[in-house]
Structure 1
């Protein structure tokens, strides 16, 4: 059976926590529709090990900083072995991974390492975007809750000046398009979906082509990690 991996890469502050909670809650229904929501190494619903193993060692993320992770080849091999075993043993046609940390990946070598972690060449990227200024306001608040690097260079996840690369969604999308093919990168407008449905979950279900399997009541209580600009 030819399997397809779906990587929900965020970005941050676009409802990722809610999507992950929904997928965890409804694993069995998703399995009935041929979709396997991966169980992570560090966190069951947020598959942080993918970005940790793929990212250049000198680059940091909030998870790497908060957990003081040392990422060496043995760590990367362990993650690769776990993912390969999981995907190869699954009887589902599609395997879904979700981690907003993946959106921090910028460089071709990082994308190639990410590809090497997943034993299928059929990989689809789900990338959410939102209003630039609203994103920056919410993301800056988020960063204040994390341990930050002593020195913050322009390549950092913690660089939140007005000219930050983090708010250049076109550039971030292009990095994935170059490596995975533009035809395999689906871009979803967070603000439009929120305005139309009041929740981000329906857009995720449409991307998976399983919206008919769920009643709106299944997601009405899910909008987690909220501030005045939801996560």
Structure 2
């Protein structure tokens, strides 16, 4: 019997976290049907978030570095991996970190004995970059403006696609567009494309929400002040879920949108692959440092951060809370 491994390789900001949480929640059902969503290759240490524990980020990160060190890592992991999946006809591995793998041949070596299939979701270029930018502001201490971020994003779609052809028997490239996805969501789409024996009707909300508007501006300020901490993610998620102005795309003028899209070949290639693609008009997005809502939004935001002393006690944040700062535009 031919055994297969399904590699869900991203890309990030295409509902990956929600999908990984779903697969983890249905591990028992998958096992009964001869599938395996293994623990091997996942970081299960107590310090990791539930979201990180649900994905094979450990395996993906292990594939980055000097070849001899990567091979040693994989050789050390392989016995436990093979033991865990010994009764499965299909193994599912999921991490958006696979998009950064440096040694695909070593990954193929690690998966020797399996037929490799890849599934990947691709986004319209500007929506992808903007979402990635908001995620970096939210999830790290990065404090650079969007234009600089886009200039250094370095996404060249053919260069990403080509290497997977050398190790995968089949590659399924999907457009991350609700109008194109099965039942309008990535979980149902993945379940269908991968042929999984699961009912995706009970899908958990993705807790890794993109932030926008004045919440994005607030986190930008925290990053500039060196106040980033992983613990800030929970209150930001809560705010984004509760307030529409704090989630979704952020505002960008039409001229900038046209210029950024024209300077990258991604959308042209996506059209060759999928036909017409939708391009969101970011002029309808939430303004960052929106002066009309700034004072109101800062009060709402700061109520969620009062427990973080380093944030609440900083003089600049205290001034924001008192409404003493003059609103302006995010630096471009």
**Once the two structures are superposed, what CA deviation does each residue of 1:67-106 show, in whole Å capped at 9, x if it has no partner?**
xxxx66643432233323333x2x121000001100112x
Which is higher, the Rg of structure 1 or of structure 2?
Answer: 2
Distance (Å, rounded) in 1 between the aligned partners of 2:72 and 2:96:
23
Partner of 2:99: 103
Alignment of 1:27-66 (within 5 A): 27-40=27-40, 41-43=42-44, 44-57=53-66
Contact 1:14 1:190 in 2 (8 A): yes
Alignment of 1:16-27 (within 5 A): 16-27=16-27
Partner of 1:214: 199
Partner of 1:224: 207
- Where 1:126 maps in the other structure, the secondary structure is strand
- Where 2:21 maps in the other structure, the secondary structure is helix
From 183, 190, 203, the equivalent of 2:176 is 190
The alignment covers a number of residue pairs equal to 197
From 117, 126, 132, the equivalent of 2:119 is 126
Partner of 2:83: 85
Contact 2:182 2:188 in 1 (8 A): no
Partner of 2:150: 161
- Where 2:5 maps in the other structure, the secondary structure is strand
- Where 1:10 maps in the other structure, the secondary structure is coil
Q: TM-score, normalised by structure 2?
A: 0.53
- Where 2:105 maps in the other structure, the secondary structure is helix
* Deviation of the 1:119 alpha carbon: 3.4
Inter-CA distance 164–124: structure 2 relative to 1 (3 Å threshold): same
Unmatched segments (≥5 aa) in structure 1: 59-70, 149-158
Distance (Å, rounded) in 1 between the aligned partners of 2:91 and 2:81:
10
Inter-CA distance 129–77: structure 2 relative to 1 (3 Å threshold): same
The root-mean-square deviation of aligned C-alpha atoms, in Å, is: 2.7
From 126, 130, 135, the equivalent of 2:128 is 135
Contact 1:53 1:113 in 2 (8 A): no
Higher relative contact order (CA 8 A, sep 6+): 1
Shifted more, 189-198 versus 114-123: the winner is 189-198
